[in-house]
Amino acid sequence: MNKFDIIVSTDTIYNPENYERFYNILEKYLNNPGVCFICCKKFYFGVGGGSAQFIEYVNSRDYFTVEIKKEIDNSMSNIRHILEIRVKK
């Protein structure tokens, strides 16, 4: 099975119902050491997901570290985040 040193994703965490499926993909395919960057919105209106909720989910599983590496707020639209995920040491 191939594993990847870098995984880049965008807007994949908008629906909390998919967190487990996406998390399992990362667990299976992210190399250690490796990094996953997720570009996402702070809130996804109408579906209930967002960066804080996904961070909470990742932390509850206790396999990865996750942090907001960048916050983008142009005061004209939803706040965006770039999350960094790595396997815990």
Q: Render pLDDT for 51-61 as a digit per residue (tens, 0 to 9).
A: 999 999 999 99
Residues 31-83 have pLDDT tens digits of 999 999 999 999 998 888 999 999 999 999 999 999 999 999 998 889 999 99
Distance (Å) of CA 45 to CA 14, 42, 54, 81: 9, 10, 14, 15
CATH 3.20.20.70 matches 4-87: no
For the chain, the domains span 4-87
First to last CA, the chain: 22
**% of the chain beyond a pLDDT of 70:** 100
Which among 57, 52, 59 has a CA at the least distance from the CA of 81? 52
Residue 89: its pLDDT value, please?
A: 84
